[in-house]
Chain A
Amino acid sequence: MSSSVESHPVRFRRLEAVPPLVAFAALVLSACTPAAPGPTSPPASPAAAKSAATGPLAGQELYEAAKKEGKVVWYTAMTQTDAQAVLNAFTKKYPGIETELWRASGEEVLQRATAEAKAGKFLVDINSSDGMREMIQEKLLETYESPERAAIPAELQDKQGYWTTVSLLAFVPAYNTNNVKAADAPKTYADLGDPKWKGRISVEEDAWDWMGALFMAEGEQKVVATLEKWSANQPKRIKGWATQVEQMVIGEVDAGMAHLHSVLAQKKKSAPVDWTVFEPAIVRGHNLALHANAPHPNAGKLLINFILSGEGQKLIGDRGRNPARPGMPNALDQLIPKDTKVFYSIDVSLPKSQTELSKQWRGIFFK
């Protein structure tokens, strides 16, 4: 009657709490493998500094170093399917390196990379989009003299060594062939301001880069006047240059500016869309750069080399894009008629900053 409580090993039972808690904690932590979080500090910096000190790695050495890193992360404004195709080919050639892709608009890539860097999280290795100036200003990028650069024309490279053009972006007017006959297709920039296009055209949500280049080619005042007429036609504001063509294909809009390669990719699928040329045609570059404090710098360099190599550029050409490297399929100069006036705006010195141009664009189209 007396000692049953005392001799009963109640105290031992409190230990029973520990194994389940530990097991649960272990389960939760082990389940975190699907999303291996990025490093919280930039452990790659010592390695990067070392490689800069001893000379750049190349060839097999670079591949070995990249394999050790095990992964490469690429933020891009290129379409998901095209970028994935490039990565699939990369993995085939260089097995043992996991690839991770994030596709977003140039502005979002910039915003995300900056926020992450400021929080001390370095997650991205290479970046390809059209917003290099701001990224250089924010000190997000690192120079990299890829051996493949030698084959790319000098005007398609950054003088300081930060970026190289991967493919050319030619801005052409495209239209839905079911709803617009070739004879009725617009011929000049001013044509899309004609009231007959009211409610039938689209513009990109933030075409600051194209507008900036057009300012340089035609003069700001003239361009703004034309764009105001476009705005009066109540265009549909669509996010993404590839999406514009998709919307034309399904018949949501009849005409608008688009990337030539997007139109060609759709035409390959027998989609009801076609293109013409407004003069001067604007050509900008889809540019590739290495990130500073990249978590996997050698893998990043290897991927850059691959994208700029003959094999990578041929793949890009086969996908319908216009490669920067000469002698590749689908070269831009073979597609645009010989005597067309073309304005190349590859380097980053637009007349105004991205922020100013964005604001101006929104002022015109988001009344």
Chain B
Amino acid sequence: MATRALPLRPIDTARILSWIDPKAIILTVVVAVVAYLALLPLIFLIFGSFAEGSPDSPTGITLSNYVRAYVDAKTWVMLRDSLVFAFGSAFIALAVGAGMAWIVERTNTPGRNVFYAVALMPLIIPGILHTVSWILLLSPRIGLVNVVLKDLLGVDRATPGPLSVFSMPGMMWVEGLHLSALAFLLIAAALRNMDPSLEESAATSGAGILRTLYAVTLRLMLPAVLAVFLITFVRGLEAFEVPALIGTHADIFVFTWQIYRAVQQWPPDYALAATYGMILMALTVVTLVFYHRMTARAERFAVVTGKGFRPRAMNLGPYRWVTFSFAMVYLVLAVVLPVLILVWASLLPFYVPPSLESIKTLSFAQYEAILGSNMVQRAIRNTTFLAIVSATITMLLTAVVAWIVARTRLPGRQLIDFIAFLPIAVPGIVIAVSMLWFYLTVPNPFYATIWILVIAYVTKYMPYGIRTTAASMVQIHRELEEAAQMSGASWLQTFRKVVIPLLLPAMISGWIYVAIISTRELSTSILLYTSSSIVLSIAIFDLLENGQYSSLCALAVMMMVALAGLTYLYRRLGGRAAA
């Protein structure tokens, strides 16, 4: 064939721009942003823990921070208390969550579909509200539960009641109950995916319920159960609200609280905060390494094919009413009591335990007052803005990262996957301290604006985003993209018109999830916010410090109603599978 001369074209911008490869730009930018978000603050945290002086004027490198922490007896007490608290919370969360999961997934307890929805409800209650409600329930002097017990036992109301929330068991109970919803979710998923053939052979061989449970189910579930224990243990280590609001009154000071204090006191001790942060992070990283191993082992027992092999529910006979009562007790403790006490407190000028006379003083005055507060209005605007923006940026970033990991042969793509997951090992307050070190040391336009919160939220929620998108990416057939490219589509077109639409359900469900959990965020925001970037959870914390229980409860009720609505949306769009 004779060569054909190309027709002459005038130089047009399109031709020049065609040399810019959107794929290369986007991939580079995304990888750079992810690495920046996950790594740079961590590097500065390490630097901060070895630094002498403060972020704006570091004077040298030293080991003295670690030495100081090591020789201080307080550090060891803190270590012991943090570990005990995390262990106890994880234990309670697991016991309650696993029990509920088994009841809902594997037995014929009546109403178990309702219980499934109910067991997820604590996830929408922000940690701070949950903590406040249990203070109002279990405070030794005025807690509702104690008041009722004292009346039943005929004891004078002024004496301290039998159950005190201001103690290590009290703290473990509150945190454990709050984490039980997470434990429930994870174990229910594991139970659902379990290979049923072994249980069925046990049943056909004549084993009873308990025997099957013990010899087969528990053994199969052991890696998954241990994995869930470890993840709730990590959550217990990272917990902030319970130690801040309850622990301080019980003389129990854990790492997260001491880190916060080190930064908030005068003069602030950023180096000590960084050092404590490193120690705490060492604990979480070690735990997560074990968690990773357990999860890998647990997956060996999962079903590879599909829903056709769903395990059958066990027939408990008359004992199903026992499990029904257990589930009802859980419903009351985890959802009904906390919500009711908050609603009750929100309708009073000042809190009193429920009684006939106090019913006369009920009014909506607190709601009016709270909606009229400038600070609350600002907090609502900021929380909404942050939820939308951080969820969007997170899902877009992680969609691209998921694509890189699943579709390319780029060297280091596993590394990028790992880096995107890294923030999950870093407790929220440690993320905040590391960001303080970075953004107070290096000149930048973000510190003390709302954008530093956006950066913090995206950093923190990247792992959740990538979990959703990566899982979904695997399920999308490569052939569809290949077909598009065969028809002449560019990489960007393929990504926009084939990949994203297929990934969209996962992205939307991930988006809603990140938006919801970002409204509950406290431990990172609390060190990075300013009066103009205040968010709802901090507004609540603020009201608590002002002693305004009633206003706080009004805000709490409104927040929970909004979150319940969003969660309902999530369940409709994402469904159980996205858990």
Residues of A within 8 A of B (CB): 5, 8, 10-17, 20, 28, 31-32, 34-38, 40, 73, 75, 79-81, 84, 87, 99-105, 107-108, 110-112, 114-116, 118-121, 123-124, 131, 134, 179, 199, 236-240, 242-247, 249-254, 266, 269, 271, 354-355, 358
Contact = CB atoms under 8 A, between A and B. Distances in A.
Contacts, number: 172
B546 A240 contact: yes
Given A100-B374, A116-B448, A199-B160, 7 more contacts: A10-B490, A20-B496, A84-B375, A108-B264, A119-B447, A121-B447, A243-B547
Interface in B36-52: none
A92 to B, nearest CB: 14
Contact of B268 (A13, A115, A123, A247): A115
Nearest to A102: B531
A169 B165 CA distance: 33
Contact of B532 (A11, A100, A105, A269): A100
Contact of A11 (B14, B373, B385): B14
Given A35-B382, A103-B546, A14 B530 contact: no
The 4 closest A-B pairs by CB, nearest first: A243-B547, A246-B547, A102-B531, A37-B449
Contacts of B248: 237
Nearest to A75: B531
Contacts of A266: 350
A116 B436 CA distance: 11
A248 B87 CA distance: 34
B350 A36 contact: no
B451 A37 contact: yes
A34 B387 CA distance: 13
Nearest to B448: A121
The B interface, classified by DSSP as helix, strand, loop or mixed, is helix
A31 B385 contact: yes
A73 B534 CA distance: 14
B546 to A, nearest CB: 5
B492 A17 contact: yes
B163 to A, nearest CB: 15
A120 B545 contact: no
Given A13-B493, A99-B374, A179-B158, A79 B546 contact: yes
A242 B248 CA distance: 18
Nearest to A176: B158
Interface string B385-427: 1001100100000000000000000000000000000000000
Contacts of B142: 250-252
Interface string B162-205: 00000000000000000000000000000000000000000000
Given A32-B450, A179-B158, A247-B547, A37 B440 contact: no
B375 A35 contact: no
B267 A355 contact: yes
A134 B266 contact: yes
A15 B14 contact: yes
B367 interface: no
Contacts of A99: 374
Contacts of B299: none
A84 B373 contact: yes
Contacts of B447: 119, 121
